Amino acid sequence: EIRALIDRLERDRTLHKEEFIELLTRYTAEDFAYIREKARKTAQSIFGDKIYTRGLIEFSNYCRNDCYYCGIRRSNGEVDRYRLSKEDILKCCDIGYELGFRTYVLQGGEDGAFNDDIMTDLIVSIKEKHPDCAITLSAGELSYESYKRYFEAGADRYLLRHETANADHYAKLHPERLTLEARKKCLYDLKDIGYQVGTGFMVGSPYQTPENLAEDLLFIKEFQPEMIGIGPFLPHHQTPFADQEKGSYELTLLLIAILRLLIPNANIPSTTALGTINPRGREEGILSGANVVMPNLSPVDVRKNYELYDNKICTGDEAAECRMCLQGRMESIGYRLVNERGDFQPLI
Ligand code: 5AD
Ligand code: FES
């Protein structure tokens, strides 16, 4: 009985591995509606009708890594590489501030040109101009010392998806230099330093099994991230995974609902990949228990160069258009965007 599993997941905030596999592989349309409603109610009991917004600034598409799934991997010679200057980034922040954003997400490839001195100067400068804003970094695997310097400079949060919690699966998605062990060490370093930490995975990445997804859920339960980002895998035509099948839209929605019941107070975005796989994806993500949206604040002239996967939405829209678009989408389903930092709050 899948319904009994869902009830127990809600009550105990976890399940055993075999039970997660059962839920992921045997749910019916009625079970799907049932768990989504539970997840939605859980999110509403904590966040009400508020949706937190994060302004995404894609500051560099240079990357030293060569992940098989990613459009900006080092080996993709077709990408027009760019780096935003400090002035560009501060301008994005100013535009974002006027639009009501109180969190900036600085996301980029692993680009050595943004060294510790440059990054700390950038973080300090943003915080000087906008002391009431949170800074989230998403810049990959770095040393404990670098993470610590950025935190002391004023960074509040860090996003680093674990991608898959199974080491063999991890090796099928990444070249040898990258390991699950190193990824997990970074995550625990970030927690230790004091960041609010986000992790997550792609749904339907090549070679992923239901057992792998159960392992992802159990890793997340153990790690207790403050933020959880997931989205469907979408192929990029200039990568080794060009001909792989995309992930499942419905399974992504189911997993968002499971994650909401697993960690009720986590900040969970309804992601751009979800909005790319389905035109109503971001609304339906919220209706599965997500509570965050992350509109793009990057300058329009570089957006199309930050294509992690094909057909990414919003590459031609100004920041203000994305904000207005999402505001309308959220209001259409009974929610509202708020101008708050939206930090993680422990359950009382
Ligand atoms: N499809 C979907 N998501 C992707 N990401 C990278 N490439 C793809 C893709 N082809 C996700 C990864 C990464 C995040 C920034 O984007 O999970 O952590
Ligand atoms: Fe960018 Fe809709 S969110 S155009």
Q: Which residue has the least CA distance to atom 14 on ligand 1?
A: 161
Residue 212, CA atoms < 13 Å, CB-side half-sphere: 21
**Mean pLDDT, rounded, of the chain:** 98
Task: Output the six-digit token pair for 1.
Answer: 């009985």
**For 215-255, what is each residue's pLDDT tens digit?**
999 999 999 999 999 999 999 999 999 999 999 999 999 99
Torsions phi, psi of 231, nearest 5?
-160, 165
Q: Which residue has the least CA distance to atom 4 on ligand 2?
A: 322
Q: Which residue has the least CA distance to atom 2 on ligand 1?
A: 233
Atom of ligand 1 nearest to the CA of 107: 15
**333 within ligand 2 shell (Cβ under 6 A):** no
Atom of ligand 2 nearest to the CA of 293: 3
Counting ligands in written order, the one closest to the CA of 236 is 1
CATH architecture of 2-338: Alpha-Beta Barrel (3.20)
Distance 308 CA to ligand 1 centre (A): 6
**For 154-211, what is each residue's pLDDT tens digit?**
999 999 999 999 999 999 999 999 999 999 999 999 999 999 999 999 999 999 999 9
* Contact assessment for residue 150 and residue 119, using Cβ atoms and an 8 Å cutoff: yes
- Going by C-beta distance under 8 Å and a sequence separation of 6 or more, which residues neighbour residue 210? 21, 24, 25
What residue ranges line ligand 1, CB within 6 angstroms? Answer: 69-70, 161, 163, 202, 231, 233-234, 236, 273, 308-309
* Closest-CA residue to 287 (of 40, 88, 25): 40
Distance 106 CA to ligand 2 centre (A): 19
Residue 268, CA atoms < 13 Å, CB-side half-sphere: 35
| Whether the predicted pLDDT of 348 surpasses 90 | no
Give the ipTM.
0.96
Distance 331 CA to ligand 2 centre (A): 14
* Contact assessment for residue 204 and residue 255, using Cβ atoms and an 8 Å cutoff: no
Cα dihedral 6, 27, 18, 227 sign: negative
